[in-house]
Amino acid sequence: MKQPLLDMRGIIKSFSGVRALNGVSIQLEPGEVLSICGENGSGKSTLMKVLSGVWPFGSYEGEIYFEGDLVKASSIRDTEALGIVIIHQELALVKEMTVLENIFLGNELGSFARLNDEEMHRRTSELLARVKLDILPDTPIRELGVGQQQLVEIAKALNKNVKLLILDEPTSSLTTTEIEILLNIVSELKQQGIACIYISHKLEEVLALSNWVTVIRDGDHIDTRSVENLTQNDIISMMVGRELDEL
Ligand code: ADP
Ligand code: MG
């Protein structure tokens, strides 16, 4: 078998003795999109926090292999260095700074360390064009809407050496146009061999975008299915643990 990009095996995570994840395993190849579905509180974000180093190595059971190597991250800096970038539901940009400053913030160890001002402006303009944002690099974040900020976060991720992009419910507060842009970006990334984990309650988006759908219920891994022949009703049945006509 080909070596997967990501191989999470039997992840168990507890909070004060209560299990939020009860042995969840997922695999992903480069250029694939995996969606994770589950009701609120089922453990989706916790699984992504384990993957991205928010919950460090040693605070969970199970193993994470990325490009074949065991991941022992102690922070999101460590996972970003590997090419794993997470965009959380809660926005994380610094409101008082500009788009450019946010994009290059915390990237001083990255490959753009030696860019001068002009190069950073050019690079930021390119990234903004890629996410279809018609704003200037010097625009303060506080002047942007939530959806625009989400797209700036994606631009920031694209400025890093991203191999796996994690989007945790990114479209919950976006306009239809912004959702379209975001879904197009994910499709483009897919074509470039960048993998994506997508978390959304919008099952139409999930089915349109994904290769695989993993369903989690109460911290249990219910199933991972190919989207071929998978319907929205199939996903909902797995999420709630009953056939829909029983509901
Ligand atoms: P989802 O993203 O699927 O809505 P979460 O992963 O956020 O679910 O939460 C899964 C379970 O873990 C919930 O019962 C939640 O209350 C609990 N949980 C998540 N984060 C924490 C935390 N930091 N401390 C205590 N409990 C938590
Ligand atoms: Mg969540």
Q: Which atom of ligand 1 is nearest to the CA of 40?
A: 4
Write down all domains in the chain, each with its CATH number in brackets: 1-83+163-173+189-247 (3.40.50.300), 92-160 (no CATH)
What does the H/E/C string look like for the chain?
CCCCCEEEEEEEEEECCEEEEEEEEEEECCCCEEEEECCCCCCHHHHHHHHCCCCCCCCCEEEEEECCEECCCCCHHHHHHHCEEEECCCCCCCCCCEHHHHHHCCCCCCCCCCCCHHHHHHHHHHHHHHCCCCCCCCCEHHHCCHHHHHHHHHHHHHCCCCCEEEEECCCCCCCHHHHHHHHHHHHHHHHCCCEEEEECCCHHHHHHHCCEEEEEECCEEEEEEECCCCCHHHHHHHHHCCCHHHC
Q: 11, 13, 15, 21: which to mutate for ligand 1, most atoms within 8 A of CB?
A: 15
Q: Which atom of ligand 1 is nearest to the CA of 39?
A: 3
Q: Which atom of ligand 1 is nearest to the CA of 46?
A: 6
What pLDDT, in 10s, does the model give residues 32-51?
999 999 999 999 999 999 99
The model's confidence at residue 174, banded by pLDDT at 50, 70 and 90, is confident
Q: Of 53-67, 99-113, 140-154, give the range with the top mean pLDDT.
A: 53-67
Tell me the pLDDT of the chain averaged across its residues. Answer: 91
More confident residue, 170 or 127: 127
Interface pTM, i.e. ipTM: 0.99
pLDDT of residue 216: 98
What pLDDT, in 10s, does the model give residues 51-71?
999 999 999 999 999 999 999
Ligand 1 pocket by Cβ (under 6 Å): 15, 20, 38, 40-46
What pLDDT, in 10s, does the model give residues 109-126?
445 556 788 999 999 999
pLDDT of residue 246: 64
User: Which residue has the least CA distance to atom 25 on ligand 1?
Assistant: 15
pLDDT of residue 109: 47
